[in-house]
Every structure is written in structure tokens, then in C-alpha cells.
Amino acid sequence: MKILKYKKISRGRYKLTTDTSELVLYEDVILKNNLLYNKDITLEILEKIMNENIYYEAYDLSLSFIEKKLRTKKEVINYLEDKGFNKRVIDETIKKLESVNLLNVRAYVEAYVNDKVNLGNSGPYKIKKELVNLGIDEEEINEYLNTISEDIWLSKLDKIVDKKMVSLKNKSLFMIKNKLNMDLAIMGYDKDMINEVLSKLTKNDGEAMKKEMEKAYNKYSKKYEGDALKWQIKNHLYRKGYIVSDIEL
């Protein structure tokens, strides 16, 4: 096989036209095998070149993958597996990336947590779970999460609660606290932090209870009257979380 010409097709990649076929090779493979001068290729050399090219391809794709944003070791491995590379190629690629500090776990954790704190609503427990699922060691995660002041989390909670209160304004204080307690726990916040924020909530239930009472009356007065109607309305208000002593019919 004889090389006839070269054509650059992308960053560090060239298309080689031979007298029998076309090959796409990485620049480093071309230089390493002296193909600029050695234009005649035996089948043995061709096999060696194509094998080397696979390693360069895996590394190059990994660099492009990492350039978009920081990645974990697990993410890169999954990415290369999806691209069809075998374990030997993946292991060598990971080793090379680590040798040039492109899979810096600490930097990844810091960037990930900071993005979540500044741009999202997730609490520390949820963030930790997400990072564990990405293959990060718990000790690495805890080490950085512990540097974040509790005041920052409490401030985030206050803002989340204020926003959620808009859609919960017609609920009883009891129902509001129950709903927020469940939502904030799902979002990954500490129980003590949640209780501290919710303990500051106050609300006059009078107007909201009046509306619920009217709804209950309109619903049950079609079927009940007298004490039976009062019982149905009270039961409805109990279920909505209103305090017994506040319910007077």
C-alpha cells in the first residue's frame, strides 16, 4: 500500500489517500510512524497504525467531552463505553487523562456544588446523592460540603419557602408546614434546618378557613342539614388542617 496524499479534515486529524483506500489518522500517529517520509505501508505496519489510532481517537473524544464541562471518571468511562471502545483502551485513556490532571475530583466537586448552591434549589443531601451516583467518593464530597456555611443553606431555604408560599396562601398553616416539610426534605435539606425555617412561619387562617367553610357548605348542604351538615363541614375543615378551637359554626 502506498500513500498518495494527505488532507487535514479536523483538529489533528488527516485523511490519507492510498493507492487502494482512504484512512483517517491522527497527526501524532502519522508523525510517530514517520508516514510523511515512509510512504510504503505493509499490512503489518497498517495494523499497528490503526491500533494506535484507536487510542488517540479515544483520548481526543475524551478531551472534547471534558471541554464542554468538568467530568467525573465514571462519566468519561461511560461515554467511551457508549462509543464502543474496549476496556484496555478506556483504561489507558483514563490513565492519560489523570496524568495531566484532567480528572481532578476536588475541582469537579467544588464546581458541581457551587453550581447547585448558586443556581439551583437542591439541598446538601440531594447534592451528595447526585455526586455519589456520579462515582465520587463520599469523603471527598463531605469534605467540601462541610466548608459551606449553614447560613447559606438557611438563606436558600428562606427564599424557597417565600416562593412556595405564593401558591399555598389559601391553605391552613398546618397544611402549609406539612407540605413544605415534605417538599424541602425531598429537595435534600436537613431536618433541623427545615424546622428552624418553618418555625418562623406565621399566618392568620381566618380568611382561608372562611373560604374552605363556604366550599364545604356548598358541597354538603345539598345532602345534609342541621347537625349532620355542621359535622360534615367541621370534618372537612379538620382534614384541611384547621385548629379545632378556631372552627365555630
Task: Please tell me if the domain spanning 105-145 has the same topology as the one spanning 150-198.
Answer: yes
What's the confidence (pLDDT) of residue 208? 66
Per-residue pLDDT in tens (0 to 9) along the chain, 249 residues: 788 788 888 888 888 888 888 888 988 888 888 888 777 888 888 889 999 999 999 999 999 999 888 899 999 999 999 999 999 999 999 999 999 999 999 999 999 999 999 999 999 999 999 999 998 999 999 999 999 999 999 999 999 999 998 888 777 788 888 899 999 999 999 999 999 999 888 766 666 667 777 787 788 788 877 878 777 777 777 777 676 555 555
What's the confidence (pLDDT) of residue 247? 52
Q: Which CATH architecture has domain 105-145?
A: Orthogonal Bundle (1.10)
Q: How far apart are CA 1 and CA 44, in angstroms?
A: 11
Query: How is domain 150-198 classified at the CATH fold level?
Result: Arc Repressor Mutant, subunit A (1.10.10)
Q: What's CA 54's distance to the chain center, in Å?
A: 31
Show Cβ contacts of residue 45 under 8 Å, excluding neighbours closer than 6 positions.
33
Domain 3-99 has CATH 1.10.3720.10: no
Longest Cα–Cα distance of the chain, Å, equals: 104
Q: How far apart are CA 17 and CA 65, in angstroms?
A: 29
- Whether the CA torsion 65, 68, 73, 75 is positive or negative: it is negative
Verdict on whether the full-model pTM lies above 0.85? no
Q: Any idea where the domains of the chain sit in the sequence?
A: 3-99, 105-145, 150-198, 206-246
Show Cβ contacts of residue 23 under 8 Å, excluding neighbours closer than 6 positions.
15, 16, 49, 50
